Amino acid sequence: MRMVATESSAQRGNVKSELRVLARLMTGKPIFLGFNITNTCNLRCAFCSVPSLTNRDMTLPEIEHAANRIKELGIPVVGITGGEPFMRRDLSDIVGIFAQRDIQVTITSNGELLSRKRIEELARHSNILQFALSLDSLDRETYARIRGKDILPKVLEQFTQARDHGPSTVYKINVVLGPDNVDEVDDFVAFVEASKLYASFIPMNIAPGGLHRGKNYDGWGPAGRERVAGAFEHLRALKLAGAPLWDHRDFYRFAQDYVLGRAMPPCRAGQLFLDLRSDGKLAFCNETDHFIDLLETPKMSQKLLEEKRKEWFPVLDACRLDGACCYTCSYNITATAHSIPAYVWDYFQLRYLGA
């Protein structure tokens, strides 16, 4: 299969940022911070409990303070998510705060609130590295069952509008893969190829405790786990064949192991990525409690971060042994750090050469 590169000069300009990411990967410093700017959401997905959290949302001045601390750590990319980030009317201002500090952002949305006006507000920013739509089925009935609302046609139409009138960046879909949609993998890949998009596939989180959980979701018996694991094996083969799949080839192996309940290697939480709560509290990942409140911290440093991580290592390792997660913000980054040459080749081929 072959994909024609469609990146604009603005997108190619992100190469500088991507080189910064690689340099930090090779030196073992954080490259990504996930930031739930709000826990409020307009949907009620069956596998997610984020909207039940009670953390307040930071004000813009407070976000500026937190962004200064993030800048001090040298983190080049912040992933803006929620809840639903478009529930905040000041989303564009938040993106601008990071732009002023030369920090790239990614945005993940469920797509229901992507009005033309709000998309055009974002289009003025040049620091949006990626814009992702959470899309768990192309079947209207399945989508409504998973996400709690029958809005699939609206979401697809508005995401197309966002791609056509929004920021000049990479557009992709994020698929949480579980028993309900495991048979749609080839349909999703055909969809992104036809639409000149990219795709990420993430296993539904089925470990004990935490925020994003499918542990009580029907279909996760031994046969269901085998089916989902087989889908990730198939995705890895598609990735190697040149399909427009965004994540590292070895992430799909981690996803297989996770679904089958096998031991996971250290995810390097706190070393390669961090998690910022909506109220300004900083954690090593979204599966652990916070270790510092950025709003009460006048200065952050790599030394302070490393000291805190040493203190928290027993907690982080216990989390790994429990098989807590297999997110792209954890094990995709880990896979990339483990095999940078494969990442560089796959990325260059996918975005600029085709396969």
Quote the pLDDT of residue 64. Answer: 98
**Strand partners for 275:** 34, 283
Q: What mean pLDDT value characterizes the chain?
A: 90
- Which CA distances in Å does 165 have to 131, 168, 188? 13, 9, 23
Distance CA 80, CA 9 (A): 24
**What is 9-353's CATH superfamily?**
Aldolase class I (3.20.20.70)
Quote the pLDDT of residue 352. Answer: 61
Least confident range of 110-124, 179-193, 199-213, 243-257: 199-213
Whether the full predicted model's pTM is greater than 0.85, yes or no, is yes
The b-or-e profile of 321-347 (16+ CB within 10 A means b, else e) is eebbbbbbbbbbbbbbbbeeeebeebe
pLDDT band at 354 (very low <50, low <70, confident <90, very high): low
Distance CA 186, CA 231 (A): 9
Quote the pLDDT of residue 98. Answer: 98
Q: CA geometry: angle at 188 spanning 182 and 189, to 5°? A: 115
pLDDT band at 338 (very low <50, low <70, confident <90, very high): confident
Question: Token digits for 150?
Answer: 């029958």
Least confident range of 76-85, 117-126, 194-203, 315-324: 315-324
Distance CA 68, CA 102 (A): 11
What is the tens place of the pLDDT at every residue in 134-169?
999 999 999 999 999 999 999 999 999 999 999 999
Quote the pLDDT of residue 43. Answer: 92
Please state whether 268 falls in left (phi above 0), alpha (psi between -120 and 50) or beta. left
Say if residues 243 and 295 touch (Cβ distance below 8 Å): no
Say if residues 342 and 249 touch (Cβ distance below 8 Å): yes
Quote the pLDDT of residue 209. Answer: 67
What is the tens place of the pLDDT at every residue in 91-114?
999 999 999 999 999 999 999 999
